[in-house]
Amino acid sequence: MAKVPELFGSMVFNDQTMQERLPKATYKALKKTIQNGEPLDLSVANVVASAMKDWAVEKGCTHYTHWFQPMTGITAEKHDSFISPSGEGQIIMEFSGKELVKGEPDASSFPSGGIRATFEARGYTTWDPTSYAFAKDGTLYIPTAFCSYTGEVLDKKTPLLRSMERINTEAVKVLNLLGKADVTRVITTVGPEQEYFLIDKDVYDQREDLIYTGRTLFGAKAPKGQELDDHYFGAIKTRVANYMKDLDEELWKLGILAKTKHNEVAPSQHELAPIFSTTNIATDHNELTMEIMKKTAEKHGLVCLLHEKPFAGVNGSGKHNNWSLSTNTGENLLDPGKQPETNTQFQLFLAAIVKAVHEYQDLLRISVASSGNDHRLGANEAPPAIISMYLGDDLGALVDSIINGTEYISKGKVRMETGVDVLPNFKKDTSDRNRTSPFAFTGNKFEFRALGSALNIACPNIMLNTMVAQELSEFYNELKDATDIDTAVKALIKKTFTEHQDIIFNGDNYADEWVVEAEKRGLLNFKSLPEAVEHYIDKKNIDLFVNNKIYNTDEIHARYEIELENYSKEINIEALTMIDMARKNILPAVTSYVRELTDTALAKKALSDAIPTSVEEELITSLSNKLVCFSKMTTELEDAVLKANDIGDGLASAKYFRETVFAIMQELRAIGDSMETETSSEYWPYPSYGEMLFGV
């Protein structure tokens, strides 16, 4: 293997490669586009395209693709070769600026939420020059945005770029007002931690529920789960370590800053964490990371599961979104410094975020809503569905002192005495994380912990950027005409913290008391996607997106429709899979086992009528009763799925699937799992939880 510095970014058409391969004038023009958002001249694009093609061909590429992120939740790509006929049956390798800048995939097969007719097939992809192109599997990948022929946004990248531009504009205005004239750009940065499960492929191939839905729809708990806490940060198994080594190398080649890897809480669960990068690049990199996790697993005879809750009864997988703001002058706007009580700039930005999270808590909840994440949120493994903020002891005390007009006394860094002479004493960080909080301050960033593992991180970051931009815009309008800016800023900070302190909670978010307390504070508790997404099209939310030019009204309604439609489709697929497993495999298997038990019981009776009620007879009675219930419940599920076809409205359909179909699925599973515990493993048709979770 090449040394890591040589390996890192070797398959990326990055800044260093562009400097080496582009004429100085072309490179400068491209950098202006990347840094300042200036339009790119076609003559410049032609030179870039030619250099990019030559580089890609040297890396073994024969094709290029405009790589985009439609509303499916995964990425999309259409591959075109570089070949072009040159006469006499010969070809040359060509790639023009026009082909680099714009592609034309069929848009009719991607979700559009009714925003366009199916016959309007044409869609456009547009190069995002701020995210570097890369070579993978013989193809040059060009990160792009995606829109319909009539201009409506059909992807997750475009609104993310718009939201980044909005928060940049408003943050710069506020900073200039505070005297920071040298600040010309503010970027949002993200570091998304990624949790995942690894199971053996041979076992996976025997589970149609995992194949079709990504989670187990039946499965009794194994005798051992995560209760001993012996898997978290434990020694990594050889096979998994080899997988992680290959994964790191593949990610490093693509310039992805994979930093930390370890075992997570549940058996067979692991985590990969990157170093933060600019939000749109972090989004591209996280989509790539998930794809490469799956492909690398195949090479090791493993399957990588990214569903939020693949196994009932053990922790599901999340993704922590570490979000921050930085200036072009190298300043982190969320760094409180050594004296946060005098750092009014930090306090002002903190106040904007507190106000944003309070006023748009519904949007943050909506941004992490999915059928998979519904299983996690609120369980003692992920934050609850109630959105709140954790600031830590020090910042909490600072906010209280500002609200009450009292003196702030820093707790400082508390010295931790180890009691062992050879070990150094160390300082406890007063911003230490609250693992139960959905939105926690962690030193110089906020960690949004409610994301599900399969989520495209563009969604929550669009929400975060837009709502904070809105608050900064309001702050600017309130401060711009102040005669004494310092006094006005302090008054605004105090007013904001006072009015929005209800969103701040530094206690245990898992406690039953918090649910009661949150309701008293007027905080929302949306336990499922239909409950949450219903509020996507509330007037205040439409106004937020329209006024900040992130979406128009039609684009918001389209996303609302797509979320509800996807939810209904996902539960429908799960229900049909359950019916299939129940009818074709579980019912016949348990019936066969009962037949064998009956034969054994009859044979015993034939030997002697004096033999008392046998073990076999007790099992026969128990399983026979459960078979009757299981069969009836399967029929009930079939009927419920059929009735769902008659419900046209998106919200009504999603609520029906949640309240009726999903409820029956839970009951059917409970009976099935109970039968598994009484049925011989020779007869049970599916690998057990023990085999799946402890088989690697």
Kind and range of the H or E run holding 85:
strand 83-87
Rounded to an integer, what distance in angstroms lies between the CA atom of residue 195 and that of residue 218? 22
Within 13 Å and on the Cβ side, how many CA atoms surround 297? 21
% of residues, the chain, pLDDT over 70: 89
Q: Please report where in the chains the tokens 């097969």 appear, as a residue.
A: 109
Q: How far apart are CA 657 and CA 662, in angstroms?
A: 6
Q: Has residue 418 got a pLDDT over 50?
A: no
Tell me which DSSP letter residue 378 carries. T
Strand segments, DSSP code E, in 106-167 are 123-127, 134-136, 139-148
Q: What are the distances in angstroms from CA 34 to CA 122, 128, 133, 332?
A: 27, 9, 13, 21
- 83: pLDDT confidence band, cut at 50, 70 and 90? confident
Q: Would the pLDDT of 122 be above 70? A: no
Residue appearing with tokens 């194994």: 222
Token couple for 471:
């608050």
Q: Which of 131-145, 335-349, 486-500 has the highest mean pLDDT?
A: 486-500
Q: How many CA atoms lie within 13 A of 532 on its CB side?
A: 26
Task: Provide the token pair at 211.
Answer: 């194949």
Residue-range domains of the chain with CATH? 4-155 (3.10.20.70), 162-415+425-551 (3.30.590.10), 568-693 (1.20.120.1560)
Write the DSSP symbol of residue 424: P
Q: Residue 28's CB: how many other CB atoms inside 10 A? A: 12
Task: With a cut of 70, say whether residue 103 has pLDDT above it.
Answer: no
Q: DSSP class of residue 502?
A: G
pLDDT for 107 equals 54
Given this model, what pLDDT does residue 559 score?
92
- The predicted structure's pLDDT at residue 77: 81
**Residue 116: is its pLDDT beyond 70?**
no
Residues 305-315, mean pLDDT to the nearest whole number: 94
- Report the pLDDT value the prediction gives residue 96, as an integer from 0 to 100: 76
pLDDT at 91 over 60: no
Per-residue pLDDT of 530-562, as tens digits, reads 999 999 999 999 999 999 999 999 999 989 999
313: nearest Cα among 671, 686, 670, 684: 670
13-66 tens-digit pLDDT: 999 999 999 999 999 988 888 777 677 788 888 888 899 999 999 999 999 998
What is the pLDDT of the chain when averaged over all its residues?
88
